Structure 1
Amino acid sequence: MSAIALVSIQDRVRELAPGFVVSLIVAAAATFLSEHYGAPVMLFALLLGMALNFLSADGKCKAGIEFTARSVLRIGVALLGMRITLEQIAGLGWKPVALVVTLVVVTILVSVVAAKALGFQRLFGMLTGGATAICGASAALALAAALPNHPQKERATLFTVIGVSALSTLAMILYPMIANWAGLSPQEAGVFLGATIHDVAQVVGAGYSMSPETGDTATVVKLMRVAMLVPVIVVAAMITRMQGADPTGKRPPLLPWFAVGFIILACVNSTGWVPSLVQGGVNELSRWCLVVSISALGMKTQLKELASVGIKPILLMIGETVFLVALVLLLLHWAW
């Protein structure tokens, strides 16, 4: 049995190796360019990856690129917990928690109303609104598993995943500029980025491209949004039961393991017992995981696929994204 398991592992490694190695090469090139030209390494990784997006089509590299963009990213985010202490989280105070709860509830409600006004099912509004307000593609997939079955659900889920990924990629480039234009402090910029960008990868990329403090704050705020997935999925499950529908397939975990890992490492780091050498090594490993995964994410970005779904769904998601940015800036201005 152990021999069979070993052969299975070897086959899996062979399957993933080409895509992972390509992502690693792109990450190394991005690091080299960043060190020599002073621009953010995450941005170089994303742009170089997008230039090679043909590699994510069917072929030897596809499985490895998918694995790197998904699993290596989550490992990198979990390891970021070694940068954070509970003292930092407490230092943010109650305002970020109130901000996150407000923006998630309001964005989803507005999305449901907007979807109905545009002629879509309310559940499509909940799917796109949840993905926009919480954590992008992960939230879309989690919510899709909890919502009732519908003939158009699979297509709606696919569009939502593509849409939030494309908008997050754009946001990673534009939102730091908006933060600078608005004159936000490093902590305020971190709250803004963490509260508005859809996917974890792009939050991390945008935050740490500005400053370590902004990156740390953005990551904490983003993981607060990820935690909101639990009550939103519970509500979606209640809707499913009320409609008498049972979703098929395996449901994703209510709280992603990378968020749990982040919290555990933050708790460990808060004790002050972690040697600086170990802390530095984990932080460097985390940085590499994130750069490699963003390289893969760039290779997966297929903006042309959005053109095949019509204009109304695109307008809905762009509208949700703009609304979220305006809401967060308004709350920062009046309540921060």
Structure 2
Amino acid sequence: MTQAEQIEVSSSLSLGQRIRELAPGFSVSLVVAAAATFLSEHYTAPVMLFALLLGMGLSFLATEGRCKVGIEFTARTVMRIGIALLGMRITLDQMTALGWQPIVLVITLIIVTISVSMIAAKYMGFQRLFGMLTGGATAICGASAALALSVALPNHPQKERATLFTIIGVSALSTLAMIVYPMIAKWLALSPQEAGIFLGATIHDVAQVVGAGYSMSAETGDTATVVKLMRVAMLLPVIVCAVMITRMQGSEDIGKRPPLLPWFAVCFLLLACINSTGWVPVMVQSGMNELSRWCLVIAISALGMKTQLKELATVGIKPIILMVGESIFLVLLVLTVMHWLF
């Protein structure tokens, strides 16, 4: 047997062994994700929240045994794949169709909300990076942004617990917003387009934006979805800023400086550019979006398994006040900017 053949056989054996190591943890994460999806569809509640809670109920699987390695892989690598595939939701035409005002609105709310969140977090005794995590989740796209920012931020003993708390909080607030914010839009007598801009700029998760928008009218739903996708597009520059902070502050903790643009962020940008060409068939686009959703739900299931319930019970009232305050601040900021721009 030649040396090349020996290397090929060795690689095949290593790959097979790696798959066998990862399969138990990934499989149980997939089962939890499927159960969470079933419950979400039948009880109209956020799938991310169900995935987290079900995962935390199986946290003993991540501490030892055959599932541990696969759960670690799923919470890390599968999460990055799901974030990268979010790029297939966005096109440049969608972002320019409503004119320049919504673009200015989205950029303003992202910068101001995250900045104020970091300052408020520091004032309340947290690290500024926790404010970036909660502020990014509030200002961009809920649980998906929390996951993406968590990956990009420096390693910290409390990072996973902070991420899980942020996902739970932003999912609960997003569900509440889906019910309350359309009432606010009607009370303020906003036009269908203005209501769509308001809902798309304030509700955290994409699914809740769609539900709230189309519950009012088709025009409101269409506008809300496009504005929401503009916020999703801001995920990339925010990730770059988070990684720059990691490069400046995290070199001692993690041994080496991470790349300025992580591979999942590069894939996110490439897929968004490809999707903007209009060459991607609708069936392929829908399939990629569904795959992204499944990857994120599976990853959150694994992340839930890595967290002990008693750890979340120790967070106290301050983080809750911070996230509620961020959501209220975002509503007031959007209404103020809309008053000046529209």
TM-score, with structure 2 as normaliser: 0.69
1:8 matched residue in structure 2: 14
CA distance in 2: counterparts of 1:286 and 1:63, whole angstroms: 22
Q: 1:309 to 1:329 in 2, by over 3 A?
A: same
| Matched length | 309
Task: Indicate yes or no: 2:56 matched with 1:50.
Answer: no
* Pairing 1:127–2:129 present: yes
TM-score (norm 1): 0.70
- Please give the alpha-carbon distance, in whole angstroms, between the structure 2 residues aligned to 1:249 and 1:141: 16
Contact 1:132 1:321 in 2 (8 A): no
Equivalent residue, structure 2, for 1:161: 163
RMSD: 3.9
Choose which of 126, 134, 139 in structure 1 pairs with 2:149: 139
* Alpha-carbon distance in 1 for matches of 2:327, 2:201: 16
Letter in 2 for 1:56: S
Question: Is 1:262 aligned with 2:268?
Answer: yes
Cα distance, 1:3–1:139 mapped onto 2, change above 3 Å: same
Structure 1 spans left out of the alignment, 5+ residues = 146-153, 198-202
Matched with 1:323 is 329
- For residues 121-162 of structure 1, the C-alpha deviation after alignment (integer angstroms, 9 at most, x for no partner) is xxx5421222123343543563436xxxxxxxx356455434
- Give the Å deviation of 1:86: 1.8
Q: Choose from 83, 102, 105 the match for 2:108.
A: 102
Q: Say if 1:218 and 1:257 are closer, same or farther in 2 by CA, change over 3 A.
A: farther
What is the rounded CA distance, in whole Å, between the counterparts of 1:143 and 1:16 in structure 2? 25
CA contact (8 A) 1:53 1:298 kept: yes
Shift in alpha-carbon separation, 1:182–1:71, aligned structure 2, 3 A:
farther
Counterparts in 2 of 1:93-242, with a 5 A limit? 93-111=99-117, 113-115=119-121, 117-118=123-124, 120=125, 124-134=126-136, 135-140=145-150, 142-144=152-154, 154-155=156-157, 157=159, 160-183=162-185, 185-193=195-203, 197=204, 203-207=205-209, 213=222, 214=224, 217-231=227-241, 234=244
C-alpha spacing 1:230/1:4, structure 2 compared with 1 (3 Å): same
Deviation at 1:21, TM superposition (A): 1.9
1:142-188, Cα deviation, whole Å (9 max, x unpaired): 3436xxxxxxxx35645543432332332343232233333374454
- Of the three residues 241, 250, 268, the one matched with 2:256 is 250
The amino acid that maps onto 1:54 is G
Distance 1:271 1:16 in 2: 37
Q: What is the CA–CA distance in structure 1 between the aligned matches of 2:48 and 2:150, rounded to whole Å?
A: 25
**How far is the alpha carbon of 1:89 from its aligned partner?**
1.9
Structure 1 pair 10–159 and aligned structure 2 pair: CA distance change class (3 A):
same
Distance 1:292 1:143, change over 3 A: closer
Q: Distance in 1 between matches of 2:15 and 2:83?
A: 25
CA distance in 1 between partners of 2:292 and 2:134 (Å): 25
